[in-house]
Structure formats: structure tokens, C-alpha cells
Amino acid sequence: MDVEQKGSSLRVKSVVTNSAGTRTLEVKYEIGGSATTYTGLDGDEFRSAVHWDGNALVFDTIEREDASEIPQKATWTLSADSNTLQVDRQVTKSGKTMHSVTSYVRQR
């Protein structure tokens, strides 16, 4: 994952490599602005609004999968030394809420 922020503009580039090959998704958000609509790597449509909550960056997202809408919330926090990004994600699907936390360590 590659993240670049300039003022209220945020660019997130994700690269996924698996047995099907390498795929890249780049999404540009406006922090505190209108929601961004994009197609994910799985072909589903996503609509995300991004805002600050204190020192955390919050992504409120609706995923459209077939005829259903799946609400998601991801909260990003950066360590004091700016070397670790923690992503705390909640997804509600079929009435069940799933929670995961992923840490990304900066490669130099």
C-alpha cells in the first residue's frame, strides 16, 4: 500500500499479488469532502467518505455487492514515529459485524 496526502487530497494505491497475478487499485479521496465512488479489485462498487476524527482518519464506506449494500468503517491511526499505520476495520454483512485490525510498517 502506498499512501500520499497533500492537504485534503488523499491518494491510496493498493497492489495485490496472488495466484491470479498482480492487480493495482488507486483511489483519490477528498478528506472532509464529497464521497468517492470507485470499483474495487473484486468488481464491486464502493462509495467512501473520509474525515478526520481527532488524530484518526475515518473511512465510511458502502460496498454494493449484487443487490445488497454492505456498510464498512475503517479507522486509520499513525504511530508517533510515523512508521506504522494501523487500520481498524468493521464490516457488517448479513446482520453480522466482523472486526479486523491490520498494521502496515513503512518500508524504507
pLDDT tens readout for residues 28-61: 999 999 999 999 998 999 999 999 999 999 999 9
Distance of CA 26 to CAs 11, 13, 77, Å?
A: 7, 4, 20
Mean pLDDT across the chain: 94
**Number of separate domains in the chain:** 1
The pLDDT score that the predictor gives to residue 48 is 98
The CATH number of the domain where 9 resides is what?
2.40.128.20
The pLDDT score that the predictor gives to residue 67 is 85
Evaluate if pTM is beyond 0.95.
no
> Which range marks the domain in which residue 44 is found?
2-105
Residues 6+ apart with CB under 8 A from 25: 13, 14, 16, 38, 40, 41
Question: Residue 107's pLDDT band (boundaries 50, 70, 90)?
Answer: confident
pLDDT at residue 108 above 80?
no
